[in-house]
Amino acid sequence: MIHAYNMRLIQIIQHKNLLSSFCFFSTYKKKQTQTKVSLVLNPKKKMGSAKSALLILLLAMVIASCATAMDMSVVTYDDNHHVTAGPGHHVTAGPGRRNGVFDVEASLIFESWIVKHGKVYDSVAEKERRLTIFKDNLRFITNRNSENLGYRLGLNRFADLSLHEYKEICHGADPKPPRNHVFMSSSDRYKTSAGDVLPKSVDWRNEGAVTEVKDQGHCRSCWAFSTVGAVEGLNKIVTGELVTLSEQDLINCNKENNGCGGGKVETAYEFIVSNGGLGTDNDYPYKAVNGACDGRLKENIKNVMIDGYENLPANDELALMKAVAHQPVTAVIDSSSREFQLYESGVFDGRCGTNLNHGVVVVGYGTENGRNYWIVRNSWGNTWGEAGYMKMARNIANPRGLCGIAMRVSYPLKNSFTTGKSSMA
């Protein structure tokens, strides 16, 4: 019963800052509280001795908790769920009073996070399971951020997912390139040479060549989003027109790929050429599920066309830099680390492998506080990373690049303003 009263009290307060304010108020009003307690003990009052004792104990517990609430906090957070460790704290699992404080704080943060991200769970048991995962991720985030790295982790949309669940939802790029490349041309277009002079920084967002960040949802369609993003950018550069194109067109109609089951970016480029172009998102909006190819719709929509595509020489960050200086490009990377899952801001140089599994668009590069980075556009909505983007460390010792970013890069070709209708019936 005492536990129920305490939980109700926490639910009423609903925020650590309000709890601190309440504690201050309670301490300030200690004499008044003691006076009220003496009234409870007055036998003339109509209150049972058992209930009186319970209230006294509850008040004592609240006051005792308040005495240490300000210095026992193990995490600090704001309304956007930016998380840091409290002074001198390294959050760990296990028994103890400090972990009890962490559990209470984590539960409050979780409730706020649920509201922000519009999460709805099927059952109380499922919510409890998600809370357990959330707490584990919160510990991981807090401890990593306490190491003063060049990047920060945060409670983004994936904070209630285990690493395994995150991989199952977000990794949709086939690790092996296709064997046949009908419309791929070979070129030394972006091969580097001693005389190359490249801009110190490039950001195609500033040139209006990047559409708003998109969200693939629970569909493993990163291969489609990364392909479409590069085509949108090149179309703007060549024609001066920024058109938001349709990933659903690829998911439904590109039968050589597997829709929400994953696919190859090279095969997507092949389809766009053979299909006579790609429809707009307005004509063929995204559904985040597999569907039948709507031939009647495609007969009447305006398509943005490309002439072909090329692959960049592998394992050459300088060549990648030269390519990005001319246009946004598609890269297949390894995004399977927990740090990548929970990335929030800064120049990311965290743990990352080279098992390619996720398609992204590289839309620029630059330097921040002496640290070189790539500007990577993701397809996980604008609540992940820096409004949907990541700054990924550039010019590292490994020629493959961080997360294998230089291993498998491709880009579309477009020589002139070309539009047309689909060749599919």
- CA dist 421 and 252 (Å) reads 17
What mean pLDDT do residues 154-161 have?
Answer: 97
- The per-residue pLDDT for range 20-62, each reduced to its tens digit, is 433 433 444 444 444 333 333 343 444 455 555 444 444 444 4
- The residue type of 137 is N
For Cα atoms 94, 100, 102, give the angle at the middle one, nearest 5 degrees.
90
Q: Structure tokens of 150? A: 């060049």
Beta partners for 245?
280
For residues 66 and 213, which has the higher predicted lDDT (pLDDT)?
213
CB within 8 A of 179, min separation 6: which ones? none
**Band of residue 381 on the pLDDT scale cut at 50, 70, 90:** very high
3-state percent breakdown (helix, strand, coil) of the chain, nearest 5: 40, 15, 45
pLDDT recorded at residue 170: 87
**Surface-to-core class of residue 236, CB atoms within 10 Å of its CB (0-12 exposed, 13-18 middle, 19+ buried):** buried
Which residue among the candidates 23, 170, 222, 352 is catalytic per the annotation? 222
- The per-residue pLDDT for range 105-126, each reduced to its tens digit, is 999 999 999 999 999 999 999 9
**Band of residue 415 on the pLDDT scale cut at 50, 70, 90:** confident
Q: Is residue 252 flagged as an active site residue? A: no
| Of 257, 259, 269, 266, the residue nearest 218 (C-alpha) | 259
For residues 154 and 31, which has the higher predicted lDDT (pLDDT)?
154
Residue found by looking up tokens 């640290």 in the block? 371
pLDDT recorded at residue 33: 40
pLDDT recorded at residue 186: 60
pLDDT recorded at residue 185: 61
- CA dist 341 and 362 (Å) reads 18
**Annotated domain spans of the chain:** 2-151, 169-420
Q: Is residue 148 flagged as an active site residue? A: no
> DSSP string of 234-250?
HHHHHHS----B-HHHH
pLDDT recorded at residue 380: 97
Q: Is residue 170 flagged as an active site residue? A: no
* Res 104 pLDDT > 70: yes
173 phi-psi bin (left φ>0, alpha ψ -120 to 50, beta other) = beta
Mean pLDDT over all residues of the chain?
A: 81
- The per-residue pLDDT for range 255-313, each reduced to its tens digit, is 999 999 999 999 999 999 998 899 999 999 999 999 999 877 767 677 899 999 999 99
CATH number for the segment(s) 169-420: 3.90.70.10
- The per-residue pLDDT for range 49-95, each reduced to its tens digit, is 555 544 444 444 444 444 344 333 445 555 555 665 444 334 444 44
247 phi/psi in degrees, rounded to 5: -70, -30
Q: Structure tokens of 31? A: 């004499």
Q: Structure tokens of 265? A: 């970016």
pLDDT recorded at residue 417: 55
- The residue type of 234 is L
CA 281 to mean position of chain CA atoms:
22
**Band of residue 102 on the pLDDT scale cut at 50, 70, 90:** confident
Residue found by looking up tokens 């409290």 in the block? 86
pLDDT recorded at residue 176: 75
Which residue among the candidates 137, 156, 311, 378 is catalytic per the annotation? 378
Which residue among the candidates 89, 171, 358, 403 is catalytic per the annotation? 358
What mean pLDDT do residues 141-161 have?
Answer: 96
pTM, entire model? 0.78
Report DSSP state, residue 219: S
